Amino acid sequence: MRGEKMINENEIYNGLSTAEANKLLKTHGLNILKQNKKATPVKIFIAQFNDFIIWVLIAATIISGFMGEKADAITIIIIIIMNAIMGFVQEYKTEKSLEALKKMASPTTKVIRNGNVQVINAELLVPGDLIVIESGDRVPADAIIVTSSNLSLDESILTGESLGVSKSSSNRNNSVFMGTIVLRGKGEARVVETGMHTEMGKIANLLQNIEQERSPLKDKLSSLGKVLVVLCVMICIVVTALGIIRGQDKYQMFLLGLSLAVAAIPEGLPAIVTVALALGVSRMLKRNALVRRLPAVETLGCTSVICSDKTGTLTKNIMTVKSIYYNDKIYNENRFKDEKLYLLKRAFVFCNDCEVNYREKNIGKSLVGEPTETALIKAFFTNSYDIKTFLDSAKRISDIPFDSNRKMMSVIVNEHGRKISYVKGAPERIIDRCKYISIDGEKKAFTENYKKRVQSVLNDMSSKALRCIAAAYKDSGIINGNQERDLIFLGFAGMIDPPRDEVKGAVLRCKEAGIKAVMITGDHKNTAYAIGKELGICSDLSEVITGEELDKLDDNKLSSIINKIKIFARVSPEHKLRIVGAFKRKNKIVAMTGDGVNDAPAVKNADIGISMGISGTDVTKEASSMILLDDNFTTIVAAVEEGRVIYNNIRKFIRYLLSCNLGEVLTMFLSSLLYLQTPLLPIQILLVNLATDGLPAIALGVDPKDEDVMYEMPRDKNESIFARGLKEKIIIRGSLIGICTVLSFLVGEVLNMPLRTCRTIALGTLIMSQLIHVFECRSEKKSIFQIKLFTNMSLVMAVTVSIVMLICVIYVPFLQIVFHTDALNLFQWGIVIFFSAFISTINSVYLYFK
């Protein structure tokens, strides 16, 4: 356990109280760097009108108002404003959820207040706070070191120099700066400057314009949007020109063309994609996955390999020592209090970084630290008072903390004036450094015979899924890592870390979804294999490879075998980068988890970098695109599922919006080609747009998941959004909507109905066929009768609102005047329903029998 602190003689400092901190917060303000000004709601609203065609339409409407068409002009303006409100609501909602997301992902820090270590939001730090920093942390403010152990920082963000800089309270280099990264060791430091007063704050203005991340899908849709704009505008010009050639009122035709352009151009498409992604992000959050980058949501759906750490992600990270091997004997749980284990006990307890809260009686609650280390103490003690007495018998002088590359940890302690070194770590690493073995308190040569015996017990314990930690000592002080040699082997402890209950099911779900689950662990091959087998990750020892074997393979060889490997054991964080590279060369989309500072490069390089919310370091969190709030593998699978659902939903509303818009354009285009009267007036076209484009499309964006979603193979990352028949669906259905609307109008004309009635029939048909089609868009395989209609209540409500809107426009006398409609009788409604439901019925029958 941590020994004496290296406290400067005149600098014993115990931090602030909460009351002092709150008071100081009022004077110094939040510990944040100045941010760019956010878009205000007013700005967002005004931006909705920032569209050339809208301005032309407004201008044209105002002119038409002066020319006498006052009611028309006012209604058009009202509709434009309502559209803008709809756009505003979407964008504001997105902005808010992105902001909330940023807040959730904002860094936390460990601080000692009222004498206790607490985790607080880094924004709340004040000068005077005592912070605790350790490897992987990003320093939250400028501070002076008070105590330290092996502290080394990466200050490249300030100095450009990427070599680690050693820091300690006892030398002149005792300041740490906001934004720098702790590479090694740990320490406590007193905050001296926060926010814009820090060194980082002084250069903060340089960092203001960090580019916002773009979503590839949104980019693709934006360029598609541009093509569609040109196409729509061309068609609108043709429609207008044909009308004018036929001698219709020029001004009316111009207005018609503009209205059609406003209705048909899917300008909202990229915005709705963002809404769908942002809403998806909040759904993922409910399932404990915090997405840090919006585009990651798209990629998640394509994931084909999930590489996961074992400890804590696949397992519970609740360690209990089950067996101890010492003195060439195996001790089971009920014999851990045996006096003979004294020396091993000293090694495990002194070479240990747990903190003990002596005020807490319950041993479980009194220990704060890594589960591996707390388990080693709990094996020997039942109450914290005994630990204190035991610890008082030695004082730590120095240490080399555990790191997952070395897989070991060493301390030097002073026991009654004698310097003794204790080392603990992965058994192979320890065995290699031992020349002697302690048997019955005697130092004997660590002969091949002993080594074989130790190895066989080790193999036996690890194949029972026990995680083994060995211990050794030396009766002199070791100064640095290279001198951990000629040690005296003591023994090892085997601890169980049970798999998480829900992971087995999640691994199975991965298999069904065509995703490969891979375990990457620093643990022993046998332990990893035993757990992997239990979880269904692997079935044969040939699917396991160790870090040592990996080192012997070049990148090409590794790529050639990587598809067969399910477990990487005894690997170091550096290996993870090679693993990601090898999978990528095989065209896999890789999700990779990580927690420690050394995992950050692999996490950054993976298609989906995942960090741990509980055990993860700041640096890894910053490198990741998603944080698992519960460190649980199941959450990754849930996030992949959500990723697929969101992508499918985006396809749904793209299908809906584009086929409907095509239907609207074709209605006008066909009728002008056929030299018919214009079936819809400008104001009616705008109404169609309002009734069908807004709410129903958004409701499709939150469509609940399809049951089949995790039974399909992952989609290709480069696949077009229109792939798998979507383009054809849009073109065919769009054309049919247009044709049916024109036909309904023609039937009215043939039956000698007044023009106003014919237009109302066309209006009804165009709106109703879209409102029926929106339900079809919910599935690409199932018919409207096979989908459970009421599983998306938002859609049902959105469609109801639109139908009510249509009925009001047709029957409310005042609106009849405004929208130039006629009350329809039952027969006329029959025409509307026939033409709007006709294609859907045929399509449903076809899908049903397919």
Q: 433 or 778, CB closer to ligand ATP?
A: 433
Query: How far are the Cα atoms of 238, 415, 769 from residue 663, in angstroms, in the given order?
Result: 16, 87, 10
Measured from the CB atom, the residue of 125 and 387 that comes closer to ligand ATP is 387
Residue 293 or 406: which CB sits closer to ligand ATP? Answer: 406
In angstroms, give the least distance from the CB of 3 to ligand ATP: 16
CA distance 425 to 405: 11
Q: Is 399 in the site for ligand ATP (CB under 6 A)?
A: no
CB of 353 to ligand ATP, least distance (A): 7
Q: Which residues contact 146 (CB under 8 A, 6 or more apart)?
A: 7, 8, 11, 13, 130, 169, 187, 188, 189, 190
Least distance to ligand ATP from the beta carbon of 375, Å? 10
Contacting residue, 338, 370, 486, 549, with ligand ATP by CB under 6 A: 370
Question: Based on CB atoms, which residue is closest to ligand ATP, 507 or 740?
Answer: 507
Q: Any residues with CB less than 8 A from the CB of 473 and at least 6 apart, and which?
A: 343, 346, 347, 420, 421, 422, 423, 438, 487, 488, 490
Q: Cα dihedral angle (445, 449, 455, 459), rounded to 10 degrees? A: -150
Q: In the window 465-494, what residues touch ligand ATP (CB under 6 A)?
A: 467-469
Asked if residues 666 and 737 have their Cβ atoms less than 8 Å apart, the reply is: yes
Question: Between 572 and 735, whose beta carbon lies closer to ligand ATP?
Answer: 572
Query: Taking the complex as a whole, how short is the minimal distance between the CB of residue 582 and ligand ATP, in angstroms?
Result: 18
Q: Which of residues 607-626 bind ligand ATP (CB under 6 A)?
A: none
Q: 811 in helix, strand or coil?
A: helix
Choices 162-170, 367-375, 640-648, 653-661; region in contact with ligand ATP by CB under 6 A = 367-375
CA proximity to 658, closest of 259, 225, 256, 230: 225
Kindly determine how many residues on this chain lie close enough to bind ligand ATP according to the rule CB under 6 A. 20
Q: Which of residues 637-676 bind ligand ATP (CB under 6 A)?
A: none
Task: Using the minimum distance from each CB to ligand ATP, give the nearer residue, 408 or 699.
Answer: 408
Classify strands 175-176 and 142-154 as parallel, antiparallel or unpaired. Answer: antiparallel
E-state strands within 755-808: none
Encoded tokens for 732: 């065919």
Catalytic one of 142, 309, 595, 607: 309
Nearest distance, CB of residue 592 and ligand ATP, angstroms: 12
Q: Is 400 in the site for ligand ATP (CB under 6 A)?
A: no
d(CA 266, CA 228): 8
* Least distance (Å) between residue 314 CB and ligand ATP: 7
Q: Between 90 and 632, name the residue whose CB sits nearer to ligand ATP.
A: 632
Nearer to ligand ATP, 410 or 844 (CB): 410
Answer whether 659's CB lies under 8 Å from 730's CB: yes
- CA count, 13 A, side-chain hemisphere, 396: 24
Q: Is 309 a catalytic residue?
A: yes
Name the minimum Å distance from CB 430 to ligand ATP.
9
Taking the least distance from each CB to ligand ATP, the nearer of 469 and 646 is 469
135 touching ligand ATP, by CB under 6 A: no
User: Contact between 311 and ligand ATP (CB under 6 A)?
Assistant: yes
Among 151, 265, 273, 408, binds ligand ATP (CB under 6 A): 408
Tell me how far, at minimum, the Cβ of 399 lies from ligand ATP, in Å: 11
The string of DSSP letters for 563-623 reads TT--EEES--HHHHHHHHHHHHHTT--EEEEE-SGGGHHHHHHSSEEEEETTT--HHHHHH
Q: What does the DSSP assignment read for 335-398?
A: GTT-GGGHHHHHHHHHS---EE-TT--BHHHHEES-HHHHHHHHTT-SBHHHHHHHHTT-EEEE
Among 69, 188, 298, 309, binds ligand ATP (CB under 6 A): 309
**Residue whose beta carbon is closest to ligand ATP:** 522
**Type of residue found at 818:** V
According to CB under 6 A, which residues from 498 to 527 bind ligand ATP?
521-523
Per-residue binder mask for ligand ATP (CB under 6 A), 697-736, x = binder: ----------------------------------------
Residue 174 φ/ψ, nearest 5 degrees: -110, 15
Residue 409 in contact with ligand ATP, rule: CB under 6 A:
yes
Per-residue CA distances from 113 to 16, 19, 125, 169, 440 (Å): 5, 10, 11, 20, 47
Q: Which of 190, 292, 322, 407 binds ligand ATP (CB under 6 A)?
A: 407
DSSP string, 240-282: HHHHHHTT--HHHHHHHHHHHHHHHS-TTHHHHHHHHHHHHHH
CB of 796 to ligand ATP, least distance (A): 47
Q: Output 425 or 701, the one with its CB closest to ligand ATP.
A: 425
Q: How far is the CB of 637 from ligand ATP (least distance, A)?
A: 17
Buried-state track 183-197, b at ≥16 Cβ within 10 A, e below 16: bbbbbbbbbbbbbeb
Does 268 participate in binding ligand ATP (rule CB under 6 A)?
Answer: no
Interaction between residue 426 and ligand ATP (CB under 6 A): yes
- Residues in contact with ligand ATP by CB under 6 A are 309-311, 370, 372-373, 402, 404, 407-409, 424-426, 467-469, 521-523
Which residues are catalytic, by number? 309
